Amino acid sequence: MQTSYTPRLSAQELDARTLIPAKGGTLQIELIATARANGMLVYPIEPTFEALFAELSADHPVIVLVNRSYSWYPLWHYAPVLGYDAKAQTILSHFADTPKEALPIATFAALWERSGNWGVVLVPPEKLPTSATAKKFLSAAYDLEKIGMTSEAIIAYKTALTRWQDDIPLLFALANAYYRSHQLDQAEEIYRYILLIDPLYSFALNNLADLLCQTGRSDEALQLLDQVVTDNAEIQALVQATRQEIKMGCRE
């Protein structure tokens, strides 16, 4: 089995962006930054063969970090894992100049173990890693939003909600992304949906109140804030700041 994946960058362009000669190879942070700049969501897989094989079986590319030398003289290398052959007990990868190199699983395991079995799956925002959890996927999607790729993050949040329909943190992240990108109708719809699931969700009450104030509905906004019940000092301060902004007129 071989995975199918067409990146926006060529292998040469990828190497040019991630190779650090002084380090003798590439580092995780540069690889991750390059993948995100290439419009991909970077999802860290669990350090197990089960997770690796699950992604490969779904035709999701996986990049692993291996040490092809010794612990006292490491030669770190990022290797795209292309597939595996369960019958032959081999891993199909691109370790050096030989594409689609077949390695015995035992050999691959020894090389991969030296990095703590570090690996990431790269998927476009409209796809979910097979082994994903809601919490980890949310973090990976939010990382796209933090570097200004809000449209891609919104796609990722919506994709996640096809699997975890009523996950409040995912819904809240989507609503906030809509709000920050000035898609106020969509943001309001999601905030209100969250409050149908949990009428006392303080952050949704606060953010919806802020949105209502921005759109000229200050009275309703204040009524929402009156519904907040919490002993959390940070949330109380947040709500108080929103209340004060509403009383000052917001930015209507």
pLDDT on residue 130 = 94
What is the torsional sign of CA 211, 212, 218, 224? Answer: negative
Q: Which two tokens stand for residue 140?
A: 């990976």
Residues in contact with 77: Cβ distance below 8 Å, sequence separation at least 6, in sequence order: 25, 65, 66, 67, 68, 95, 96
Name the one residue in this structure whose structure tokens are 């570090």: 118
pTM of the predicted structure, to 2 decimals: 0.82
pLDDT at position 1 is 36
Q: What residue ranges do the domains of the chain occupy?
A: 11-123, 134-247
Query: What's the pLDDT score for residue 200?
Result: 94
Q: At what angle do helices 134-146 and 150-160 cross, to 10 degrees?
A: 170
From first to last of the 252 residues of the chain, give the pLDDT tens digit.
Answer: 333 333 344 444 444 444 433 444 445 677 777 777 777 899 999 999 999 999 988 888 788 888 766 666 667 778 888 888 888 888 888 766 666 778 899 999 998 898 889 999 988 999 999 999 999 999 999 999 998 899 999 999 999 999 999 999 999 999 999 999 999 999 999 999 999 999 999 999 999 999 999 999 999 999 999 999 999 999 999 999 999 999 888 754
> Residue 21 gets which letter from DSSP?
G
Gap between the Cα atoms of 26 and 78, Å rounded: 7
Domain 134-247 has CATH 3.40.50.300: no
Q: What is the pLDDT of residue 3?
A: 35
**Class of the CATH-defined domain 11-123:** alpha beta
Question: How many Cβ atoms are within 10 Å of 249's Cβ, its own excluded?
Answer: 9
Gap between the Cα atoms of 109 and 81, Å rounded:
12
CA pair distance 52, 56, nearest whole angstrom = 6
